[in-house]
Amino acid sequence: MTTIDTVTTEVVHAALVSIAEEMMATLQRSAYSVVIREAADCSAALYDTSGQLIAQSESIPAHLGFAGGALRSTLANRYPLESLREGDSIIFNDPYAGGSHLPDIALFTPVFFEGRPVAFSVTVAHHLDVGGRSPGSIGNDVTEIYQEGVRLPPILFERDGELNDTLIALLRTNTRQPDKLLGDLRAQLAANKTGVRRIQELCRRHGADLVAAVAQDRLDYTERRLRNCIEEIPDGEYFAEGFLDEDGIDRDTKVWLRCTVKVSGSDMVFDFAGSSPQTAGPYNAVPAAICAAAYLITKCVTDPDIPQNEGAFRPVRIVTPPGSVVNPQFPAPCGARHFTVMRAADVILSAFAQALPGRIPAQSNAHTTAISISGVHPETCRYGVYFDLLGGPIGARPNKDGLDAVDDYVGNVMNVPVEAAEIEYPLQFTEYSLIPDSGGPGTHRGGLAFRRSYRITADGQSLTIRSDGEEHRPQGLEGGGSGTPGRKVLIRDGEPARLYQKETGFPLRDGDVISVDTPGSGGYGDPYRRPVELVLEDVANGKVSIQAAWESYGVRIDPDTLQVIERVSGAHE
């Protein structure tokens, strides 16, 4: 490369990344679905004409790279590049042709410059309802993908700038929330067109050939950077396993995720051999979804600043045995794949804890509890689906405490503000608080779980919960304790009773209170080595109880004066 090219490359690449970010901002801010706008369960990306990822927004890690397979299969099997024209956009969501799960709808828009295709502008967004068995398309008791909603093979959503009215009519009649679905698709299309315009401007400034050359150069550069990092990980095979409590149908059988990370030179293989067979319920994850977990953890343990493009995927291979929970066969349902992907990420990270001791945190909550409460609001007489995603926390790190009540690795969802929810839905929250002692004890304490409690203020509402982690406990590392498991309780007429963690369509009454505790996270290192002033501070701030200070940390504290009475040290040595 000539000397000027180094700089031009940096300049043009920065522009490509900022195009993806701008598309993402447009999409998220103008979306209707709470899952897109609050949970930010959407992403924007640029692909080259052969379906290689050029740049992706910093959005939800669950989407890392996954539209690539979908786009490549679309180009190979349905719409060859030469059949596409300016003003076309393709809609798609089929997990069995490269998608992830049905609510994630991808929109591909080819970018033309001076009459020839130069790139694809792509957005993927989780839509609020795509039909199927239950509101929000999140049923737990489904056994076939047909029960999970509308399945879209690649179809022209727009042709020559004209929207496909037939398809839109069909979509409208197959969702519980047609205005939201269409509003969000409009936001996606607008974001794609922003991407189209920006790429055209970039080509006008620098020439299409130069932009394409930079994109290719950056793939090599990214691969080189990642390989340099992988070289530093000791060669070897590192195994870890973890489980989901059950799959929503067979309540007695755990679903195991097993992964061997094989590091050799600058290559890594993530082999999921030994994982459970595909499940009857919707907790299956297609390979495109599982890959995101591998890409994500690779980035976390190597260099978090590595650009997001195809080059970051090249040194990594993912092996998913057909017929297993990480490579289900048609027509297995896969709507709840997020749980499987999150546990897979957790397992991969645990495997790296052996390869990179002292550089990996203890286990995190590693799932996101989804709550949907739907029905007609008595004041507005409108049908609504309230959707809430409860994530977090993150486990203790080798040098510091975990992060309390934040969503962990695969996701990064925002909560719905209590006041925003009460304005729109027949709900009155009674509690939103950190749970003391939920973080695994350790020299560094695990992040705390939280409780969110909802009082229902109308009859006729229906509850669906998608969650796990009531049996599974996030493990500590290097002598740290485990985090507490999650639980859900229904308080009806003052009587508390446990709720099934994968309840679908549970009928609620006016006055019911639903209380959800998320799981905690693991601690790191011997808790008896935690500095006594930190234990004292946690007690003063309500993060650790006086009882746990003594039982878990060996620090006896006077409840009246909050002074230390006794410190047992080295008890674990």
Partner 1 sequence: MSGVRIGVDVGGTFTDVVLMDEKTAELSLTKVPSTPSNPSVGLLNGIDRILANTGHSIEAVRSIVHGTTVVTNLLLERNGSSTALITTRGFRDVLEIGRQRRPKLYDLFQDKPQILVPGRWRWEVSERMAYDGTVVQPLDEQEVVELARRAVSESVESIAVVLLHAYANPDHERRVAEIIKSVSPELHVSLSSEVSPEFREFERTSTTVANAYAMPRVARYMADVRRGLVERGSNVTFHVIQSNGGIATPEVVEGRPITTALSGPSGGVIGSAFTASLAGESELITLDMGGTSCDVSLITGGTPRMTAEGEIDGRPLRVRMVDIHTVGAGGGSIGWVDSGGALRVGPQSAGAMPGPACYGHGGTSATVTDANLLLGRIDPATFLGGRMKLDARAAAAAVDALARELQLDRETVALGVIRIAEASMLNAVRMVSLQRGYDPREFTLMAFGGAGPLHAATMARELGVPKVLVPLGSSALSALGCLVADIRHDFSVTRRFISDDIDLTALNKAYEELEAEGQDALARQAVPVESRVLRRHADMRYVGQAYEITVDLPPERIDDGAYADVLTRFHQEHERAYGHSAPGEPVEIVNVRLTALGPVSPPVVRQTVGHATPDASARLGEREVLFESGVRVTEVWRRELLRGGNVVAGPALIEAEDTSVLVPPGDVARIDEFGNVIIHINAEGELT
* 189 versus 508: smaller Cβ distance to partner 1: 189
Least distance in angstroms from the C-beta of 228 to partner 1: 5
Least distance in angstroms from the C-beta of 419 to partner 1: 4
Least distance in angstroms from the C-beta of 571 to partner 1: 27
* 143 versus 194: smaller Cβ distance to partner 1: 194
C-alpha to C-alpha distances, 456 to 110, 259, 506, 507, nearest whole angstrom? 47, 42, 13, 11
Vertex 518 angle, CA 514 and 519, to 5°: 145
Instruction: Write out the H or E segment, with its range, that includes residue 329.
Output: none
The Cα–Cα gap between 334 and 308 comes to 26
* 221 versus 528: smaller Cβ distance to partner 1: 221
Least distance in angstroms from the C-beta of 442 to partner 1: 16
Least distance in angstroms from the C-beta of 567 to partner 1: 21
205 CB-near residues (< 8 Å, 6+ apart): none
Least distance in angstroms from the C-beta of 553 to partner 1: 17
The Cα–Cα gap between 210 and 216 comes to 10
* 94 versus 437: smaller Cβ distance to partner 1: 437
Least distance in angstroms from the C-beta of 300 to partner 1: 5
* 75 versus 394: smaller Cβ distance to partner 1: 394
* 328 versus 391: smaller Cβ distance to partner 1: 391
Least distance in angstroms from the C-beta of 49 to partner 1: 24
Q: Are 237 and 260 in contact (CB under 8 A)?
A: yes
Give the DSSP letter string of 233-250: SPPEEEEEEEEES--SS-
* 37 versus 502: smaller Cβ distance to partner 1: 37
Buried b / exposed e over 16-50, threshold 16 CB at 10 Å, is bbebbbbbbebbbebbbbbbbbbbbbbbbbbbbbe
Helix (H, G, I), strand (E, B) or coil at 200: helix
The Cα–Cα gap between 170 and 453 comes to 38
Q: What is the dihedral of CA 478, 481, 482, 484, to 10 degrees?
A: -160
383 CB-near residues (< 8 Å, 6+ apart): 176, 374, 375, 376, 377
The Cα–Cα gap between 44 and 125 comes to 9
Q: Which of 374, 355, 390, 396 is nearest to 479 (CA)?
A: 396
The Cα–Cα gap between 461 and 372 comes to 10
Least distance in angstroms from the C-beta of 550 to partner 1: 19
The Cα–Cα gap between 338 and 284 comes to 9
Neighbours of 361 (CB within 10 A): 28
Q: Which of 79, 236, 247 is nearest to 155 (CA)?
A: 79
* 172 versus 224: smaller Cβ distance to partner 1: 224
* 252 versus 560: smaller Cβ distance to partner 1: 560
Least distance in angstroms from the C-beta of 187 to partner 1: 7
Token pair recorded at residue 434: 């950190």
* 322 versus 417: smaller Cβ distance to partner 1: 417
Helix (H, G, I), strand (E, B) or coil at 76: helix
* 73 versus 368: smaller Cβ distance to partner 1: 368
Least distance in angstroms from the C-beta of 406 to partner 1: 4
Buried b / exposed e over 450-476, threshold 16 CB at 10 Å, is bbbbbbbbbeebbbbbbbbbbebbbbb
Least distance in angstroms from the C-beta of 454 to partner 1: 11
* 14 versus 565: smaller Cβ distance to partner 1: 14
Residue type, 464: T
* 22 versus 267: smaller Cβ distance to partner 1: 22
Buried b / exposed e over 116-145, threshold 16 CB at 10 Å, is ebbbbbbbbbbbbbbbbbbbbbbbbbbbeb
Least distance in angstroms from the C-beta of 230 to partner 1: 11
Least distance in angstroms from the C-beta of 254 to partner 1: 27
The Cα–Cα gap between 70 and 434 comes to 40
Q: Which of 28, 46, 26 is nearest to 38 (CA)?
A: 28
Q: In what order do the strands lie in the sheet with 427-434?
A: 427-434, 450-456, 513-517, 487-492, 495-498
The Cα–Cα gap between 377 and 372 comes to 14
* 378 versus 542: smaller Cβ distance to partner 1: 542
